[in-house]
A and B are shown apart, each in its own frame.
Chain A
Amino acid sequence: MKTKNLIDVKNLSVSFGNNIILNKINLHLSKKESLVIIGKSGSGKSVLLKCLMGILKPNLGSIKIDGVDIVNTNRTDKENALKNIGVTFQNGALFDSLTVWENITFKETRFFGFDKKAAKEKALSIIQNLELDKNILELYPSELSGGMQKRVAIARAICDQPQVLFFDEPTSGLDPITGKNN
């Protein structure tokens, strides 16, 4: 019996002007499956991720996440499909104006009705798993080192236990031991 894929990408093509970045990419991923994409700088890894996250619209092809074609559907369906994903960006992309715990529980406080205390507890349990000190919860991203920012970004991505996780250069800025543990 054929298992249902969680992510289905068919003939995905992206170009900027005459510059072809992705040419007819196909990939299929089922639940609990991991895929690592390695390529030289500028080969389109981040562009592929941005397409999968629904941030960049491809020129051709389809992307199905849990059966929903996020390229050719309406905004509401696309947003619902993307609720199941967690993302870590190359540079962390933490919100400068929010503290660490507010960053980590951004979705929880806005959509799942978490109050301040519950959100802080949730953030604390996650950062402890990532070997971060509890004292950083009230700090702002600018007060953290690059490696700590990266781990907070990972904490934000996994906070609501999404079905799909995308990591763009997840171990850059982390020392080899921390990178391996995370």
Chain B
Amino acid sequence: MIKIFNLIGKLSLSTFENLGKITLFFFMSFFWLFKKPFYFKQFLSQFLDIAFYSLPVVGLTTFFSGMVLALQTFSGFDNFNDEGTISKIVLTSILRELGPVLAGLMVCGRVGAKMAAEIATMRVSNQIDALETLSTRPMQFLISTRLLASIIAVPFLVLVGNIIGVFGGFIVATFKLDLNPILYMISTIDNFNSIDLIQGLIKALVFGIIISIISCYFGFNASGGAEGVGRATTISVVTASTLILTSTYFITALFI
């Protein structure tokens, strides 16, 4: 029995210790954003990597989600399968929840894993130490630039994903379900609520912070060669994905 309590105690302590360290890590990287020099080239390459190269995967995911949503709504709500209901359900679900969460999870898998692996490799091969000896603060050069890039790129991806997702719903509604395209479009515009969009973008902003900070934290503190890199990558993707799904509930609760 004592062993179980011992284990729970150790687990809780390590969780809270990590939580504290991650919070400190976030504030440190945020602080260095406002200090000179600003590594614009580094920021731009990270921004392009997240925003541009994640676009296909985010677009594809949200497109099919919009399509499946229209299809499920049509077959699931027998009595309400008109243009107004389907477009409202597709629009609200995409803007509030599916757009940000799917984009967040896709970026987490693609970019978060890359960030963690890249920084962990730099750590275990002394590249981060080399940066320090070249008068460059690793926190400012590597972490702050990635944080800023994520904060801007993820909401951008969500915005584009939202449009593609709603368009996916429109395609299915008009071509497969034979709904009136003009009525569907008018209904979509009528049902648009800016609060839904803002809610989604706030989620995207939080997800951007979660992905970059969690990935960079575990990468930055990696040790133990190739195995350590793998461990840091796995734990960062699992933690960030879990936090994305957890935080979306709390942000939604704030808006209701």
Contact = CB atoms under 8 A, between A and B. Distances in A.
B133 A87 contact: yes
Interface stretch (B123-131, B176-184, B214-222): B123-131
Contact of B134 (A50, A54, A91, A106): A106
Contacts of B131: 95
Nearest to B137: A79
Contact of A89 (B37, B121, B122, B126): B126
B136 A53 contact: no
B133 A55 contact: yes
Contacts of A71: none
Report the contact-size class of chain A (Cβ under 8 Å from the partner).
Answer: 20 to 34
A96 interface: yes
Interface string A75-114: 0000100110111011101111000000000110011000
Interface string A107-129: 10011000000000000000000
A85 B134 CA distance: 8
B17 interface: no
Contact of A95 (B37, B130, B132): B130
B6 interface: no
Contacts of A96: 121-122, 127
B129 A50 contact: yes
Nearest to B135: A83
Contacts of B132: 53-55, 82
A53 B131 CA distance: 11
A106 to B, nearest CB: 5
A89 B127 CA distance: 9
Nearest to A55: B129
B129 A89 contact: yes
A91 B128 CA distance: 13
Nearest to B126: A93
A82 B121 contact: no
A94 B136 CA distance: 14
B135 A87 contact: no
A95 B127 contact: yes
A82 B133 CA distance: 7
Interface string B97-127: 0000000000000000000000001100111
Contacts of A83: 135
A118 B135 CA distance: 20
A99 B170 CA distance: 47
A50 B122 CA distance: 16
A172 to B, nearest CB: 14
Report, nearest first, the 5 A-B pairs whose CB atoms are least far apart. A93-B126, A93-B130, A87-B133, A89-B126, A55-B129
Given A82-B135, A90-B126, A111-B135, 20 more contacts: A50-B129, A53-B132, A53-B133, A54-B132, A55-B129, A55-B132, A79-B135, A82-B132, A82-B133, A87-B133, A89-B130, A93-B125, A93-B127, A93-B130, A94-B130, A95-B127, A95-B131, A96-B121, A96-B127, A156-B134
18 contacts: A53-B129, A54-B133, A55-B132, A82-B132, A82-B133, A82-B135, A85-B133, A87-B133, A89-B130, A90-B126, A91-B125, A93-B125, A93-B130, A94-B127, A96-B127, A106-B136, A110-B37, A156-B134
